[in-house]
A and B are shown apart, each in its own frame.
Chain A
Amino acid sequence: MNNAPINSGPLNSMGGSAIPSAVVITPSTGFVWRWIVTLGGVDVSDQLTGPVRVEGSEDGDMVATLNLWLGDDPVSIRGYTGQTLALDFVVLGDPELVSRRFTGFLVQPEFDVLTRILSCTGTTRLSDTFEAMELDAIDLTVGGSWSQDVFEETAGRSRWEYTQERMSTRRAGLNADRAGQARLTPWYPAGIAFDFAPGSTIYQSLDISLSSLSETTNVLELEIDYRFPRYRQRNQDYSWLHPGTGGNTSLTGFNAWRADSTELPDIQMVTDAVESAGWFITWNSWYRLPGSLPELAQPWFNENIDLLLGADFVAAVRWAQPAVERYRVRLVVQEALDAVGEVIVRDRIVLDTDSDTDRLWEQSTETEDDQPVESDDPLDQLPRRDQVRLDAAASTGLLRARAQLLQAQRQSTVSWQIPLAHALAVDFGQRLKLSDQGATVTGTVIALSEEADIDSGAALLTISIAVGQGDAAAVSDALQLPAPPAFVDDIAPVIESTLDTQIGLRISSPPYNDALTGFAGSYSIGNGDPSLRYPRRFAVPTPEIPAQWRDEAVAEQPVIIRVAPPVDVLEV
C-alpha cells in the first residue's frame, strides 16, 4: 500500500480497487529489537542512546527524535543540520525483520556539552518540498479544487499555503510515508486493513476521546455572492409623419405636402434630438423629401435630400447594471442536526467580475453579435456572467465546506497501545477495527506515535483513529449550485411612440406649444404674425429609466445540500 505512487488513482480506489480483507492482529509473543540509525548515509546505531520516538499524524510531517552520544573525540557540530536521517526498527530473530520507520532530514540538532549527547529532531520537510514545486506539479500531486475567488492570487505567495488550500477541498490527509515521500491518505478508505482481536492490545491503554458538541459542526452556511454587470439596453420605437402628406408615404404624399409646403426637419435634427437625451438610433426608415424631379409637370428642384417628410426609427440607451446572484447554500448533516440541534459555522465567498469594458458598453452604439440587438422587447439585458469562473469558485467553496463539515463529524478519537513489533504495518489512510478491552470501534488512522527506549527495552506503538458519526440511512446530495436566480424587473413605463407635428405662421395655427413632441416649424407661405413664427425644431421624448433598472439588483437562491458522513462503529 505504501509503495503505490502518490495520487495514482481516485481516492476511494487508493491501494487497489478490490477491497482488501482485514488482517487480524492476534495476541502475539515477545520480541527482541534494535534500531538502525543511518545519519548522512552512515550507520550510527552504536551511538544511539535513550528513547527513539517517531510520530506523525494524518496531516503533516513525520517527526523523529533521538539522542546520539558523540564520543570523546572532537566532532564538527555544524555539519549535522540537513543530513538525511533514516530509522529502521529491527525485530531480531530468524529471519530478522527490518521495518523502515522514518526517512527524512535532521532539522534541529541540539548539543549538550556536558553529556556530549546530540539531541536530534528529524522531519520529512513537506513544506520545503512543496515550496520548491511548480504550481502545476502541486496540482497534479494534491488534486482538489482551487479558485482565485475563494483564495488569493498565487503570485508571490507561499506554495505550501497553496498546497494546503487545495487540500482543504479534499477528503484526505497530506502526510509523508515511511520512505519520506509525500502522499495523500483518504479519510474514508474502503475496507478494514487491520482487525485488532480480543487480547491483542496493551491492558488499560484504551482511551476514548469524544468530540465536544461545539466542535461538531452540523450546519455550514455558505453564502456565495456573484456580482457581475448586466449590460442593458432600453429600446423605444418612434414614428413621425408630416400631416401634410395625408398619411401617404409615396409620391402622392409628397405632392400633397408640396401643394401647401412647410418647413421640414432633417435627419440631423432627429439624430441630434435623440442624442441630446443620451440615446442613439439603432434602426431607421427615413421618408426623405425627394431630390430634383425636373420631369414632373411642375418640375421639382431640391438639393437637400436629408429633409424628411416622415421617419420611423428606434432609439436606444445603454447602461450597465450591477447584479448580485446570492446563493445561500446550507450544507447539513441531517441526522446530527436532528439529534443535537444546530451547530453552525458560516462562510462567504464573493466573486466580482466587473471590468473596464462596462464603461465601454455605456458609450457603445454598435450592435455586435454578443450584445443585444434591437428588438420589439422594450428592455434587453445581457448578463455579463462568467459561468466557468462561478462554477470553479462554487465547486471549490462547496468542496471546502463539505470537507470542513465532514472533518467536524470525525472529531471523536479512540487510541490504544500495542507492542510495536505486533503492528508494524499499521499506517495512515487505513481503516482499523478494534474489538478489545470491551470496545468495538472502527475508524481511520489519524495519528501514530511509536517509542522504543533502549534503556527500558519497551517498544510501544500508540494508534489513534478518527471515528465518524454517520448514519447508515443518510442521504447525500450532489454538490452543485442550483440554477441561477432570475432577476425581476419593474414594468417599463410606456410613452407614446407617435410624434406630434405643429406648423405655425398661419392665423389658424394654435399658439406654439413647447411641450409638444415631434416637429415644430412654419408654413412656407404664411398669413399670420411673423413674430409668431414657430421655431424649427424636432423633439424626441425618451422614456424614464426606473431606478430599479439601474441600481444594484440582488436575486437570492437558497439551497440545502445534505451531507452524509460514512458510518463507523463506536460501542463500549
Chain B
Amino acid sequence: MTQLVLGGIPVSLHTGEPAHSYGYVGGRTDVTLSGGTPVPMRSFTKRLITISGSGWVSTGLDALNWDAYHFLLCAVPLRVSGIDSTLTITADSRPDEPVRAQALVGEDWVSTDVSMVGRVGTITPVAGASVYTLTWFPQFTVLCEPPEEGYGSGAVDWQIICREV
C-alpha cells in the first residue's frame, strides 16, 4: 500500500489506516444577485487536506517543525474523469507513484497508457470507451496545524490538518 509521507517521514500502518479528506479552504465567496443568480468571486484556490487515523502507536511526526512548510505525499488517490482522452490532473502527482489511466468500455474499466506532460495527461484511446479517467496520488507543499493526538482505550487517535501553500 502507498505510504503517507510528511516532511520526509513515512507514516507506517501501525498508526492505523490514514483517512484522507480533500477539501478547499477560503478564497471564495458566492453572492446572490437580486434576481437570484449566484455569482462566485474567487481570489485563490488552495486545498485543505485532513488526514486522521487511529492505531497502536503515534505518528512520530512531532519531530517536524510545524512553523515550516512541508512536503506531503498523500496515500489516497484523487481522480479526474472526462469523455476526452486528454485530461488535466488538479494537483501534482507523487513522483514515486505513476498516474494511472482507465477507460470505461461498456460496463468494464479497462487500463490504458497515459503520457504526462506536467499535469496534462494524454491517454491512449481505447475503442468504444465512453469515459476516461486519471487516478493519481497527489503531493502538496503544506502548512500543518500542530496535530492533535489522543491516547486512550488502547489506541492513539491522531489528526493532521494541512493547508496547501
Contacts and interface: CB of A to CB of B under 8 A. Distances in A.
Interface of A: 27-34, 198-206, 419-421, 436-437, 452-460
Interface of B: 26-37, 39-44
Contacts of A458: 29, 31, 41
Contact of B43 (A28, A33, A198): A33
A283 B29 CA distance: 97
Given A27-B37, A30-B42, A455-B43, 19 more contacts: A27-B33, A27-B35, A27-B39, A29-B39, A31-B40, A31-B42, A32-B42, A199-B33, A201-B33, A202-B31, A202-B34, A203-B33, A203-B36, A455-B27, A456-B28, A457-B26, A457-B29, A457-B43, A458-B31
Main SS of the interface on chain B? strand
A554 B36 CA distance: 69
A200 B28 CA distance: 20
Main SS of the interface on chain A? loop
Contacts of A32: 42-43
A454 B33 CA distance: 21
A198 B31 contact: no
B41 A457 contact: yes
Contacts of A201: 33-34
22 contacts: A30-B39, A30-B40, A30-B42, A33-B41, A33-B42, A199-B33, A199-B37, A200-B33, A202-B31, A203-B31, A419-B41, A420-B41, A453-B43, A454-B44, A455-B43, A456-B26, A456-B27, A456-B28, A456-B43, A457-B26, A457-B44, A458-B31
Given A456-B26, A458-B29, A30 B41 contact: yes
A456 B40 CA distance: 11
Contacts of B32: 202-203
Nearest to A460: B31
Contacts of B36: 199, 203
A206 B33 CA distance: 11
B43 A437 contact: no
A459 B39 CA distance: 11
B34 A437 contact: yes
Contact of A454 (B31, B34, B39, B43): B43
A200 B34 contact: yes
Contact of B35 (A29, A34, A198, A206): A198
Nearest to B27: A457
A302 B43 CA distance: 119
A562 to B, nearest CB: 39
Nearest to A32: B42
